[in-house]
Amino acid sequence: MQTCSLTDEELWERVTAGDEGAFAEIYNRYWKKLLTVAIHKCGGDIEEAEEIVQDIFVALWSRRTGLELTSSLGKYLAAAVKYRVIKCLARRAIRRRYEAENSHVFSLTDHSTQHWLEFEEVKDRLEALVTALPEKCQLVYRLSRESGYSQKEIAGELGISEKTVEAHLGKALKSLRDGLKLLLGKFSPKIFIPAKG
């Protein structure tokens, strides 16, 4: 039977068994639709949208044996685009924020190289810790701390309860504080991850 005549469910079953032809068929069915959505959500940035779609399919293939789809393949891919676009926009926001902060740092009278290196080390360590968080936990943290979303807005955006958002944030902050404790101890006992007012 040709793969083009198979349903998504049948194709996915073959993909989990390592069938590259079935995976190619899934790619052909969905890549244009996903790319269109990604381009629209990324504000017309085609290169960024292409990277998002490519990453989704690479992740789909690499996770094929352990991934259990709880909804249709189409819904899973649509959600994957949404999450990755949000991550992408969060990264943009943090880049803009650091650029603004860095220009301020360089305008200070004290141009201490040591202080600047310490700031960079903390920033890099924090980013590594955030990236290591579970996907949903990381997404909630980035939307809250990097994109400035309220807990209510995050709940609406991700289709989860505010209580779940609060739980994810609590877990993320505890993990980040624990991870930064040793590093921050070298610099100043006063440094901490600020709570959002």
- Give pTM, 2 decimals: 0.49
Q: Is it the case that residue 197 has pLDDT exceeding 50?
A: no
Give tens-digit pLDDT for 112-151: 555 445 556 666 777 778 888 888 888 888 888 777 788 8
Cβ burial, residue 31 (10 Å; 0-12/13-18/19+): middle
- On whether both 70 and 147 belong to a single domain, the answer is no
Give tens-digit pLDDT for 33-48: 998 888 888 777 788 8
**35 lies in which domain range?**
1-85
Overall number of domains in the chain: 2
CA nearest to 67, candidates 77, 78, 81: 77
CA nearest to 172, candidates 195, 152, 153, 156: 195
CATH of the domain at 128: 1.10.10.10
Query: If you average pLDDT over every residue of the chain, what do you get?
Result: 77
Cβ burial, residue 1 (10 Å; 0-12/13-18/19+): exposed
CA nearest to 40, candidates 53, 29, 27: 53
Q: So what's the pLDDT on residue 175?
A: 83
Q: What CA–CA distance (Å, rounded) separates 100 from 95? A: 9
- Residues 31, 53: contact at Cβ < 8 Å? yes
**Which residues in 56-147 belong to E strands, given as ranges?**
none
- CB count, 10 Å around CB of 30? 20
Q: Which of 19, 54, 85 is the last residue of a domain?
A: 85
